[in-house]
Amino acid sequence: MDAVSSFRVNPVPDDSDGRVQQMLDTERGAVYIEGPLSSEQLSAYTMCSGLCKFRQPGDQHLALIDIAKLPEGLVFIARCGSLIVGYITFHYPEFERWAESGIPCLLELGALEVSTHWRGLGISRELVQIPFYNGRLEEKIIVSMECYWCWDLRNTDLSIWEYRNMMEKLLTKPGFETKATDDPDISSHPANILSVRIGSRVCEDDIARFEALRFRRRWLL
């Protein structure tokens, strides 16, 4: 069970370019969940040693800073004091099909990670929701490529299918839906998921272009 005693949202002043901050009161103290942060703001923090799923903590810190420098890059973090204990990122898609789509409003949820030392406190649940609080992503279509080889199965007692179910439930909180596709990265294993969130202000033309993109081989069926 998550050990969260209370939760509140603290909007950051309007001159912060829409930045939002939350505070979780946990059994380990206050955890602030906030963003999007600039590269300069991220540079002032350090990474928890338990953030090592994708890269070593120092290298992952540099990667977050680089993402924040991108014109479309968005980085949200969970921190205790100056220690980053979790993060979620958004940027233009890197997977081939979506990267070549030519749909300007298409973004990818690049990574979501909570330190192995800070799990079970409800941090991931709040990290996936905070990017959508200020409405700036309602003009975007966001894809999340959930592939089992990126999951931290080693540090959980979950099977692939249990982990898949956990990810599906987590991503439904901010409004993602599981979509079928013939994308080879997703169809290479039945546990993989394409999760999609279509913002409320996305135009019908972009939605139609995206829906056509999900299947490229209909004529083979």
Where do the DSSP E strands lie in 17-73?
A: 20-26, 29-35, 46-47
Q: How large a percentage of the chain has pLDDT more than 70? A: 90
What superfamily in CATH does domain 4-215 come from? Gcn5-related N-acetyltransferase (GNAT) (3.40.630.30)
Q: Is the pLDDT at 85 greater than 50, yes or no? A: yes
Domain segments of the chain: what residues?
Answer: 4-215
Q: What is the pLDDT of residue 3?
A: 41
| Pairwise CA distance, residues 180 & 199, whole Å | 18
What DSSP character marks residue 39? H
pLDDT, the chain, mean: 89
Could you tell me which of 74, 77, 33 has the C-alpha nearest to residue 51? 77
- Which of 157-161, 192-196, 201-205 bottoms out in mean pLDDT, i.e. has the lowest? 157-161
Look up residue 160 and give its two tokens. 């692939």
- Which of 4-8, 50-54, 130-134, 181-185 bottoms out in mean pLDDT, i.e. has the lowest? 4-8
β-strands 74-80, 29-35 pairing? antiparallel
- Which of 130-139, 174-183, 212-221 bottoms out in mean pLDDT, i.e. has the lowest? 212-221
Q: Is the pLDDT at 43 greater than 60, yes or no? A: yes
Q: List CB contacts of 47: < 8 A, sequence separation 6 or more.
A: 57, 58, 60, 61, 83, 84
Q: What is the pLDDT of residue 95?
A: 82
β-strands 106-114, 141-146 pairing? parallel
| Pairwise CA distance, residues 185 & 54, whole Å | 18
